[in-house]
Structure formats: structure tokens, C-alpha cells
Amino acid sequence: MAEIGRAVKRREDLRFLTGAGTYTDDINRPGQLYAYIVRSPHAHARLGGIDASGARSSPEVVAVFTGNDMAADGVGGLPCGWQIHSKDGTPMAEPPHPVLAVERVRHVGDPVAVIVAESLGAARDAAERLAVQYTELPAITDPAAALKPGAPRVWDDIAGNLCFDWQLGDAAAVDAAFARARHVARIDLVNNRLIPNAMEPRAAIGEFDRASGEYTLFTTSQNPHVIRLLMGAFVLHIPESRLRVVAPDVGGGFGSKIYHYAEEAIVTWAAGKLKRPIKWTAERSESFVSDAHGRDHVTHAELALDAGGKFLALKVSTIANMGAYLSTFAPAIPTYLYGTLLAGTYTTPAITVETKAVFTNTAPVDAYRGAGRPEATFLLERLVDVAADELGIDPAELRRRNFIPKDAYPYQTPVALQYDSGDYRATLEMALKAADYAGFEARREEAARRGKLRGIGLATYLEACGIAPSAVVGSLGARAGLYEAAIVRVHPTGSVSVLTGSHSHGQGHETSFAQLVADGLGIPIETVEIIHGDTAKIPFGMGTYGSRSLAVGGSAIQKAMDKVVAKGKKIAAHLLEASEADIEWKDGTFTVAGTDRAKTLGEVALAAYVPHNYPIDELEPGLEESAFYDPKNFTFPAGAYVAEVEIDPDTGKLSIERFTASDDFGRIINPMIVAGQVHGGLVQGIGQALLESCVYDKETGQLLTGSYNDYAMPRADDVPSFALSTHATLCTHNPLGVKGCGEAGAIGAPAALTNAIVDALKPFGVRHVDMPARPEKLWRIIKEHPARAAAE
């Protein structure tokens, strides 16, 4: 048995790899119509009249709807799930977010109208005949510029485009510490804006059943229950009992499929109006302008150190781009998922962070793999390297001097979090050894002989995952709880169905959750089925993001299994004519202690469903238990990454020669799935560090990186083979001891790589290089430095 810890092959892969998956666009409903969304070509414009007569002229066009039509029908705006308060106590500016724009369009891609037709081609043809009057207005896309006096206003009544001005930490303590500091390291940096690009573009099918009055939405979501709640309660006013949301196979999300999007409400609402199913599927170029983007921070930070290199205090000031509207979780990302992470792995006793969130004429920005934590890690780990360089201390040594020691848990940071466990020194030493840090200088010299600039960089990271204790996040502004739900259903013949509120869109839950249940119930893994993604089947769920599935969803399953076993004991005691206290549970069998009298789980299940010989006065028949699990704390995965790069000074072209990752994810259920998650995260982190960048034209607000011709995604030959290792300190507060691994790579890689690049370019007097470190940027640094210029 012992499935936990085994590299079980992913059970879902046969289906995915042979084209047998069922993604939303694979679903076709009888009588289905097609929706095409007409979007704003302008970054900012007054919306005049919309003349749909031309669009309606084709017999294939069934309907054209605009924002006014939806407003007249009482449709609400898209809600924001998190409220932040500014440091002066005022709530954030929370502008309306109509499903289809009314009066104004505020970013390129803002939905303006929907055309519903018998075929997608007819809908697209009609879209070209839709006459929309726009009066262009000045646009602003740069978050720092948006705060400046005289900047165009995204919202007339929001002065300075300021959404909120938030602060966390003891500013007075920080000032005092800076006053006695021996050294202050400073950095200004930009965390580049990213476009998520899940492999499967978003899609949605709305359906209305005239017989039952029930709506169904098939959608590419990471959290179908959240969509049901938000869309049902706030937008379309449909009770949960009459709204089913199905998120079938979903091809990647990375955060971008958490949010409730306009198209989901449009197809559901229009299906009710037209009494026919309606499908919408994004084209890739549509995804570029309509999916929520990620990151986009401008930051100044200062670190105070004493003579021994101990961190005394950290002061951070960030401007965060929210885009034109507040996406579902947007306000939480540059605040409670960012500022609270600024202690990282270090004992910094005083920290203050302020974040100004601003509106701009760009697509909304929300969580993207790591969400706030990559931004925190990048600035902290860059700043530590700057300090190490200025003080002449080896970067690894400076980190060692400041690590939270492994016997200091629980450890209260000055920015609200209490870490339960960790051993940052262990993962750092593992990574340094595996990367042969000690032997680097020889490799640098060998590279120099080949005319290449070689650099090494390291970064540690710590993330808050297993999101999240409901009461805690509630006190911080969340408008939802963040527990998870599960049902464990033992069938009469002993096979088991597990219904989970977590959602798998690439994470492999059908395998790792089955491993958990196989061991927990002592049954073969083949007899366990994991079901997710349908509000009609699953009791409730908050979904998958923030590396929460195993830590929270898995813990809910564990709780439900515990209840199954508890009930099973009672049944076994009856069947074995023993006292319940004498029943021992092990490896799928209930045994009377000290005897060989035993009943298997299957036998107990059969007795529960065929209760002829059964304690029917005390126990209900059946063997099915549900559980909700609300975590007691966040989990705190952490680790250390080492990157080694070479730069060709003639062209600025960079290659990653080595990449070493050592992670602490707590207990590991499936090491192969974990390695896959780390690989994926690292590649996304490498993408951010070297290649990816969302660029809007500063004048017109047009998206200049609106396709793969211009938006550089990382490919297999952009990345090296990764050297991975793990070291486990167990999470102390969830029953599985697990911490989560989905985001780590994306969090730690950008800092490690950028540190390596800065190290390689040290001869050219470089202190910092903003991401992405594209070849021309590196070439210019080299070329413009006097040392090089003289050599030329």
C-alpha cells in the first residue's frame, strides 16, 4: 500500500494526452448559439450611440445586446471580493464594473456589446456591421504616471486615480531603526506586467432549462462555486438552487481563471433571454486583452543593517496597477499577499510597507501564479544582494546571518504572519551544495576565457499558502471565507467517490488526492475516484489557487475520512460484538484489539447499506461523510534557488547554465507531481525574468504585445534542466503536514536569475537590472560602460 510519497503516474494524463479530455469548448449543447463580444478598440473613450440595425440585418443573427439592455434588465456589476482600507481608515475607491460597458470604455478590450447568432461566423460578420460611436479621451497606462497631477482620470470621481493608499507595519519603529543603522541599502525597481496565457483560452456556455427554470454555466474556472456565488448573488440574482456551474477539464489557470468574468454573466443572462444555449470561446488575441493580467508594480525599498550585517528594518513603498476596474481579488494582491511577506526568511524586526493602488486604462490586474509573493520576494532578495555587495559580504553569508533560526517557531513577524515551521538554512545549504557554489569562481574564469560573462545568483523565498483562515482574512477585508469542503462516499461494495471543492486544472488532484484516500482508508488506489468541478455534485468549495488544494482541500478530505472511520468503528463494533473502544483501525481493517476478529472497510460499508444486522437505533444507514475544513493558519513553504547564467557580451544574449532549487513543501504526497509543479513555476519565473513583458503604448493605450509575435513566452529551449531537491519540515497545524508547491518556482526564480545577471555584469558597475533582461538591455549596459567602450 503506502501510496503517499510514491511517484504515482498521473491518472488524468491518458485522457489529456489522447485528446479525450472534455474542455468547455468541447461541449456542445442542442440548439446552441454563438456569442461574439464586440470590444473597445480604444483605451479610453466616451461611448455614444450603438446602432445595431446593420448587425441585425442577417437572418442568422438572433440578438444584439448592449450594456444598456443589461442595465435595463437589472443586471448588476461584477463584484470585487476584497475591500482594502487606506491608512487614513477610508475604504478603497470601488468604481462600478458593468458587465458590458455603459457611457465609457476604459481599456482596449473592454466589452461593449454581444452578438448572438446561429454560427460564430455570422456573429463575427455582424460585429463588423455594428456601428459604435466612440469619442476618444486621453488615456493613461503607466501606474506611476497615473498618480501625477494632471494625469487623465480613469474615473471622473476618483482623484489622482488612487484606489487606496494602504500601510502595514510599525513605521515609527522602522524610523528609529534606520536612525541607528550603520548601512542602508536602497533599490528602485519595476515588477514587470505579465499576461497569463493559460494553454486553454477562456470559454463559457450558458444554458437555461425552461422546464425546471434552472440555469447552467459551463466555464473555464478554477472555482465553480465562487462563480456561482458571485454571479448568482451579485450580477444575475439567481438563487444557488437554480444555478449550476460546471468547470470541466480546464487547461491551466495560474490565477487568471479565478475571477468572475463578464462573458460568464453575458452567456448565462442571454441564454435566459433567448431560451437557447449560447457558447463563447476566446480567441487567443482576445485573451490578451480580456484576461486579468499580473504583477505591474513600481517600488522603492530600503533596508537598514547594523555593523554585523544584521537586518534592522525594511521600508517599502509600492505603486500597484489595478487596471481600469477591480477584478475579483485584485485589492488583496499588492497588500495582504505582498506586504505580509516582506519578512521573508529573515528576522528583520521592524518593517513598514505602503502601497498605493491606482487605476489605469489597462486590463484589470489580479493574482497571477504567486500573486504578491513573487513581487515581495523579488524586491527583498534583490535588496539583500545589493546590501551584500555594498558591505562586501558574500550573499549566502549575509542571508545565513539573518535567517529565522529553525528553533524559533512559532515565529511572529512584524507584518502580521506567524510562521509555524521552517528551516531556511537547510534548504540554502542544500542548494549551494547541489549548485557547487564554492566552485563557481573556476567556472567564471573558464567562461571568461571563452569570452563569456558568467554570474551566479541566489534567492531564498517564503510564501504564505494554504489560503486561508476565514476569520483572519475576514478581518483583513475578504468578503468570503476560505475553507474547503469534501464528501467521502464509501459505496456499498467498498469503492470510494471523493467529492472535493478543490479544482484541478493541471495540478493532478485526481492522482494525489486518490493517493491520500487510498492510504487513509486502506484501499487500492484504483477503487478511489476524485470528482470535482460541478456545483450540482460537490457540496461547496472555494476552489484552487494560492497553493491551497492539498493543504486545505486535502485536509477537508482527511476530516471526512476521519468521520467515515469513526462511524465505521461503531458499525464494526456491532458486527464483531465488541465494544467500540476495543476496535482498532489499521490499513483498511477494523480489528478487535488483541484478537484476529476483523472486518474490512468493504464489509462495514456493505453492512451500512444493507442494514440487516446493524445498530439501526443509534446509527443511520449508509457510509458517507462530509466535512468543511477551515485552516488554522497559512502554510509557509520556503526554499532557496541558485541560478547560473552566461552572457555573450557581443550580443547581450543570455543563457541559463544551471538552475538549482531546494524547497520545503512539508510532507510530499507525490514527488513527481511536485517536481512538475516546480518545473512549471520555474519556467514561468524565468519567463518573467528574461522574456515576458506586457507593453501598452504610453500615448494611445494600445496593447503592443497582443500576440505571440510580440509577447515572448518561454519555450523548452529557453530553459535548462533543473536540479531539484526537497527538505521537509512539516506543517504543524493541518492534519497532513503539507504546505503547497504550486507557486514556489514562479516566486523564487525571478530574483535568483536577476541576482545572477547582476553578478555577471558586476564588472560594468551594475547594481540592478529590471526584468525582463532582454539581450539589448544587457548589451547596452556592457557597451555603455567605460571599460567596454574603451576596449572597442
Partner 1 sequence: MYEFEYHRPANLDEVGRILGAREEAKIVAGGMTLIPTLKQRLAHPSDLIDLGAISSLRGIREEGDRIVIGAMTRHVEVERSAIVQRGIPALAALAGHIGDPAVRNRGTIGGSIANNDPAADYPAAVLALGGSVKTTKREIAADPFFTGMFETALDPSEIITAVSFPKPQAAAYQKFPNPASRYAIAGVFVARFPNAVRVAVTGAAPCVFRVPEMEAALSRSFSADAIKDIKIPEGGLNTDIHASAEYRAHLVGVMARRAVAACG
- Residues found near partner 1 in the complex (CB under 8 A): 121, 124-125, 128, 285, 650-651, 653, 690-691, 695, 704-705, 708-713, 718, 774-776, 779-780, 783
Report yes or no: 259 and 196 within 8 Å, Cβ to Cβ: no
Task: Pick the closer one to partner 1 by CB: 396 or 782.
Answer: 782
CA quadruple 194, 200, 206, 212: dihedral sign: negative
Nearest residue (CB) to partner 1, 122 versus 168: 122
Q: Which residue's CB is nearer to partner 1, number 435 or number 690?
A: 690
Region of 717 on the Ramachandran plot (φ > 0 left; ψ -120 to 50 alpha; else beta): alpha
Q: What are phi and psi of 264, to 5 degrees?
A: -65, -45
Considering beta carbons, is residue 43 or 80 the nearer one to partner 1?
43
3-state secondary structure of 691: helix
CB atoms within 10 A of CB 4: 17
Closest approach of Cβ 127 to partner 1, in Å? 10
Residue closer to partner 1 (CB basis): 188 or 776: 776
Closer residue to partner 1, CB minimum distance, 180 or 780? 780
Residue number with CB closer to partner 1 (525 or 695): 695
Q: How far apart are CA 451 and CA 196, in angstroms?
A: 36
- What are the residues whose beta carbons fall under 8 Å from the beta carbon of 59, sequence distance 6 or more? none
Shortest gap between Cβ of 707 and partner 1 (angstroms)? 9
Quote the cell numbers at residue 322.
489595478
Nearer CB in complex with partner 1: 606/683: 683
Task: Supply the minimum distance, in Å, between the C-beta of residue 144 and partner 1.
Answer: 19
Give the burial class of 30: count Cβ atoms within 10 A of its Cβ; 0-12 exposed, 13-18 middle, 19 or more buried.
exposed
Q: State the residue for C-alpha cell 539581450.
A: 775
Question: Residue 73 or residue 784: which is nearer to partner 1 going by CB?
Answer: 784
Question: Contact, 424 vs 728, CB < 8 A?
Answer: no
Nearest CA to 465 among 554, 405, 382? 554
User: In the bound complex, what is the minimum distance in angstroms from residue 695's beta carbon to partner 1?
Assistant: 6
Q: How far apart are CA 764 and CA 760, in angstroms?
A: 9
Work out how close the CB of 514 gets to partner 1 at its nearest, in angstroms, rounded to a whole number: 35
Closer residue to partner 1, CB minimum distance, 127 or 320: 127
Exposure string over 691-712, b if 16+ CB within 10 A, otherwise e:
bbbbebeeebbbbebbeeeebb
Q: How far apart are CA 497 and CA 573, in angstroms?
A: 24
**Is the separation of the CB atoms in 138 and 44 below 8 Å?**
yes
Closest separation in Å from C-beta 649 to partner 1: 10
Give 63's strand partners.
116
Least CB distance to partner 1 at residue 779 (A): 7
* Alpha carbon distance, N-terminus to C-terminus of the chain: 67
CA 639 – CA 424 distance, rounded (Å):
6
Nearest residue (CB) to partner 1, 336 versus 779: 779
H, E, C per residue of 64-77: EEEHHHHHHCCCCC
Minimum gap (Å) between residue 319 Cβ and partner 1: 22
Distance in Å, CB of 450 to partner 1, minimum:
14
Closest approach of partner 1 to the CB of residue 124, in Å? 7
CB of residue 772 vs partner 1: minimum separation in angstroms? Answer: 9
Q: How far is the CB of 652 from partner 1 (least distance, A)?
A: 8
Give DSSP secondary structure letters for 121-153.
HHHHHHHHT-EEEEEE------HHHHTSTTPPP
Contact of 372 with 547, CB cutoff 8 Å: no
Q: Going along 137-198, which residue ranges are E strands?
A: 162-169, 183-191
Q: Which is nearer to partner 1, 587 or 650 (CB)?
A: 650
Nearer to partner 1, 584 or 718 (CB): 718
Do the strands 624-629 and 484-490 form a parallel or antiparallel pair, or are they unpaired?
Answer: antiparallel
CB of 718 to partner 1, least distance (A): 8
Residue 397 or 776 with smaller CB distance to partner 1: 776
Sign of CA dihedral 125, 128, 131, 134: positive
Helices (H), 414-526: 424-434, 440-449, 470-475, 509-521
Other Cβ atoms less than 10 A from the Cβ of 585: the count is 16
Supply the minimum distance, in Å, between the C-beta of residue 705 and partner 1.
Answer: 7
